[in-house]
Amino acid sequence: METRTVYRSPEALNEAERADIWEILKMCDGDFYPPLSQRQSSYQKTFEANTGEVSDEGPRAYFDEMIRQEFLLTYVGDEMVGFMTFRTGYEYEKMGPEYNPSLYMTTACVKHTWRERGIMGALYDMMDEMTKRFGCPAVTTRTWSTNEAQMAMLPRHGFRELCVLKDDRGPGVDTVYFGKLVV
């Protein structure tokens, strides 16, 4: 089956796409630390109220903020199987001057049944094209130090560690920022 990834600005998302994004986000809520349902936005700087438990209401506040960002949507046939969101013009002084401003990848989710098939890696690689579209050669993101899959995947896709916020997400769980310059 054909796999394709498309770009959508927030205003170009249709209702079916929004519904699919919401379902995938709910499915992936507990895959994040802390869970997305405990966050108010995809770029909040502190995680002090972390209980580690997924809310019964799902990540509604997170979704309401995230849906105003730029999107990459991945389809297999007619089924949306994953997405990535990003913000343009993101600045965070701890990443260093060459990575400011950047295209900041905020959220990436792939349906559980479609994992381990290269979809997430293709989304990361698609950000190279977005740097040309938005005229910004830096791409950044963050993850948590115990997220072994992302900590291994990001360097394989050309990202380097920029800074570490020690115990930012709780004792022994650091926030790690990564960046990539696309020439």
Q: What pLDDT score does 50 carry?
A: 47
Which of the residue ranges 51-60, 116-125, 147-156 would you say has the lowest mean pLDDT?
A: 51-60
Q: Which residues are paired to 107 by β-bridges?
A: 85
Q: Element (H or E) spanning 90, and its range? A: strand 79-90
Mean pLDDT of 57-86: 94
SS3 157: coil
133-to-46, 103, 130 alpha-carbon distances in Å? 31, 11, 5
Residue 10, pLDDT score:
97
Q: Given this model, what pLDDT does residue 58 score?
A: 78
Tokens at residue 62, please?
Answer: 């997170």
How is domain 3-181 classified at the CATH fold level?
Aminopeptidase (3.40.630)
Please give the C-alpha separations between residue 72 and each of 90, 93, 105, in angstroms, as whole numbers. 17, 26, 10
CB 107 within 8 A of CB 85: yes
Is residue 128 scored above 60 in pLDDT? yes
